[in-house]
Amino acid sequence: MVTVMETWRLRDEFAGRSLELMQEMDDIVGPAAHVDPGWCEHGRFFQLHGSPGEIRMMYTWRTRAEHEVFIKNEELLLTDFYERYCVGPREITYFDELPVDVDAVGATS
């Protein structure tokens, strides 16, 4: 499994509508994502302090390769959304989770 982080940058004039616009974006791409075999969980959305137009969305997908194939279709669906509300296309970053034992005996904080 891979963790996906999408970074969305809304135009300044739309920063106050971040919640509404991220819901609109999810309504555009969510239905197809939720039935894709690579889909693992709903995304979580985070708004950057000090820059309310910058939104991070995180979720897991079965594999990076499957996700890269899937998002090609999403990009076609998002063209108008990008043009109307964003400074550019979303940025996508992939992460592998490290199995750190946070409850290990003798761990220092």
Domains of the chain: 2-95 (3.30.70.100)
18: Cβ–Cβ under 8 A, 6 or more apart, which residues?
10, 47, 52, 53, 55
In the chain, % helix, strand, coil (3-state, to 5) comes to: 40, 25, 30
Looking at the chain, list the stretches that DSSP marks H as alpha helix, in order from N- to C-terminal side: 18-35, 64-85
Measured distance CA(39)–CA(69) in Å, rounded: 12
Instruction: Classify residue 2 by its DSSP letter.
Output: E
- Span 44-90, pLDDT tens digits: 999 999 999 999 999 999 999 999 999 999 999 999 999 999 999 99
Q: Are 2 and 79 in contact (CB under 8 A)?
A: no
Q: Is the entire prediction scored with pTM above 0.85?
A: yes
